Structure 1
Amino acid sequence: MGTPREALPTVTVGHIEELLETSNLPPAEKITFLNTKAEYHVIALIEFEEREDHILRIAGNHVPKLKTENELAVLAWLQKNTTIPVAQVIVYQSGTDNALGCEYLMQKRLKGQSLDLVWPTLNEGQRLKVYDFMVDVLRQLTSREWEHIGGLQFDEEDDLIPGPVLDERFWEARDIEKFFPGETVESMNPVGPYKSYVEFSVARLEKYMHAIRKSDSLAFMREHLPLLEKFIAALKEDEKKLNDTKLCLAHRDLHMGNIMYDVEEHKITGILDWEFSVVMPLQQGDLSRAFMHDLVDDGKWYERKKKMLRMIRGSAKAKGEKDISKTYAFTSEDQEEMQEAVDLLRAIVEVSPRGQREREKMEWRDELVKILEGWTE
């Protein structure tokens, strides 16, 4: 896909000052645009003379309305049903009819700094307390079982209801126009919501097959479409076994940049950026993504993650608690193969239109075909 940062809006201090005025908020003492790694927002710190500072996140036009409304609904659920600390929402708009001309979310500033900035200064004991805290976050998120796969939204009575799936890896409108002219966000992505793991997996496969039919860059995959059709039929036949999972809310981007840490009190003060949070099968949840990534791009993160998980398991064992990592395990080899096939096809469809990973995509194709043939012999 394209780089999300390329679609970030241009906003000035004057725009924010006008927003404060039209939102019945006092004038700011100081407004500072923050240099962060955020890809979907321009972020500004708003400092006031006689009230707490605010953080303003100004969204690009990547996923109009849905992303903002999903985050608001998720935050509301978290505040009502968990003790996970999140930032209080001051004012928001999921449309563009405002002084910024953009969607935005303004929240109270959480105390501290992002964990990636302070992590090198923490000793092993302090790090272990952070791990324990984050394991508790995972436990709270997995303690509630849902009946859909997708996001959350409010209905007309402000009750929470299932919403569409959101994913950072979805095809965005600007990429669709370039690589799949005439298509839409809905025609290229599995939107949902969905009732089961198999239904969601099949929907993903069908969208990727649609892309194969539409793009000449994916013509090398067309001979395998009949095999994919047979694979989908096999999944539906084995639906009961493959649906053996728990559907739980997942943050899906729990790296250290989204965790605020107070170095004075040595505690986590909040978890940020719930915009792409959705209810998912546990096997696709937080431990399979960026959980506790320190954002150091040195090629050694996998080894650090293994060490971190060993520490988490050791802490749980010493306390007589359940190993949280086992919660995210596949319940059968067939279920794991289903997910592997979906992921391989997704990767092929992602990179081919952009002319990327030419050698790897052929290796992925061979791996995929081997799985498909094993299911359809």
Structure 2
Amino acid sequence: MGTPAKYLPKHIPLDTIDELLVSIGLPKAARIVPAKVTAEYHSIYMVSLPSNDITTHKELVLRVAGHHLPRIKTANEVGVMSWIAKNTKIPIADLVAYDDSRDNPIAHEYTLLARVTGETLSNIYSTLDAEQVDGILDQLADIVVELHGHSWNQIGGLNLDAQGEVQSARIVDETFWTVPDLGLWPADETVDSLNIAGPYENYVDYVSAQIRQYIRLIRIHDKLAFMRDDIPRLEAFVAALPSRSAELNNTKLILAHKDLHFSNVLYDKISGRITAILDWEFSGVVPAQRWDPVRAFLWTGEAGEAGMAEKRRLWELFTSLCEKRNTSFFPQQVAFVSPRQEAMQNVVNYVRAIVEVSPRDQRKELVAGWRATALDNIAHVGA
């Protein structure tokens, strides 16, 4: 099994980046500087263009994707950003060009974005005063409320069709098995075969697809053999869901960023404005209760208990702000409508955790408890 870093792009010669720029109708760069920080799934280059009549953007960010989730991650980010730019006032970087294939001069998927003023909020959070923090929360409320104000009719990602129109597409999730993980599985498995697809019509269909996939993975991996006696319970759980669909599907489908921590927010201290929300690659349309699946919202980037305590404090301020602005529907909107609906999601959460860690020989001390909790929640659903 390879490490994720192994699948990041190696250094790309600067003249090759110039070839890419020319191939999409831009001039050769006046300056190209590799970013000091490499993202988990990307290498980044800061590109300065000379004065020209082709584009008003002189400062660009080239994000070169690694070979982790071929095509689907780039296609999803482009689809979501295109929809955001066309339908909302949410600040994002202008998308100058992209390719979700490797058929280009740099031989990698990429997005080319206009550079946005501002600094990563997580890097400067400790320098902000209370008034600035209040202003950031106020702007984030605007962003979240606007994003969640639109209704959708399918759960999944977004892609552009051949005419450049946004359409529903398969799900792309940060918990997906990636190319570096393939060595953990039988040789004939692929990224597509290991992960769910979609789009899905409703919450029950979405949950059912996940559990059926986990059952399949339990059957084919020896380190999940201890879960095979539970397959009949999992199958009964899936079979029971449609009869309770009116209750379990009682949710709004919303487009969610799903990873909106402060490292994905650019902020300009001079203007006091959020200038861009970054990294939409794993975003998608989800049941409202899944808008923040990893509980990243308002995390400042500080590790440990101090970071978690600050996140809790910010959440209290944020919810109070929503209530004062008469947008209290937002916290209410993302709450489970019944204990049974919450139990249904808990089954997915705990079985996914088991299937994720066991092939890696991780978290062994927790797996038995997760298994018991999953089975207990199956009983709460009534299966």
**TM bucket by the smaller chain?**
over 0.9
Matching residue within 111, 115, 118 for 2:117: 111
Give the equivalent residue in structure 1 for 2:54. none
**Cα distance change, pair 311–27 in 1 and its aligned pair in 2 (3 A):** same
Matches within 5 A, 1:107-146: 107-146=113-152
Give the equivalent residue in structure 1 for 2:321. 315
**Cα distance change, pair 299–139 in 1 and its aligned pair in 2 (3 A):** same
Deviation sequence 1:34-56 (CA, Å, 0-9, x none) = 13352111011112343521000
Matching residue within 371, 375, 379 for 1:369: 375
Give the equivalent residue in structure 2 for 1:252. 258
CA apart distance, 1:212: 0.4
Contact 2:344 2:378 in 1 (8 A): no
Contact 1:8 1:41 in 2 (8 A): yes
CA apart distance, 1:370: 1.8
Structure 1 residues 295-304 or 235-244, which shifts more?
Answer: 295-304
**Cα distance change, pair 151–298 in 1 and its aligned pair in 2 (3 A):** same
Letter in 2 for 1:205: I
Q: TM-score, normalised by structure 2?
A: 0.94
**For residues 287 and 344 of structure 1, what CA distance do their matches in structure 2 show?**
13
Contact 1:256 1:294 in 2 (8 A): yes
**Cα distance change, pair 72–144 in 1 and its aligned pair in 2 (3 A):** same
CA apart distance, 1:368: 1.2
Contact 2:344 2:381 in 1 (8 A): no
Give the equivalent residue in structure 1 for 2:92. 86
Give the equivalent residue in structure 2 for 1:266. 272
**Cα distance change, pair 320–159 in 1 and its aligned pair in 2 (3 A):** closer
Q: TM-score, normalised by structure 1?
A: 0.95
1:282 aligns with 2:283: no
List gaps (5 residues or longer) in structure 1.
none
CA-based RMSD of the aligned residues comes to 1.8
Give the equivalent residue in structure 2 for 1:199. 205
Give the equivalent residue in structure 2 for 1:6. 6
Could you say what secondary structure the match of 1:162 adopts? Answer: strand
Give the equivalent residue in structure 2 for 1:43. 44
**Cα distance change, pair 347–37 in 1 and its aligned pair in 2 (3 A):** farther
1:16 aligns with 2:24: no
Contact 1:82 1:140 in 2 (8 A): yes
Number of corresponding residues: 377
CA apart distance, 1:3: 5.0
Could you say what secondary structure the match of 2:301 adopts? Answer: coil
Give the equivalent residue in structure 2 for 1:178. 184
**For residues 155 and 14 of structure 1, what CA distance do their matches in structure 2 show?**
32
Structure 1 residues 189-198 or 156-165, which shifts more?
Answer: 156-165
Contact 1:293 1:301 in 2 (8 A): yes
Give the equivalent residue in structure 1 for 2:310. 304
Matching residue within 139, 142, 158 for 1:152: 158
CA apart distance, 1:275: 1.2
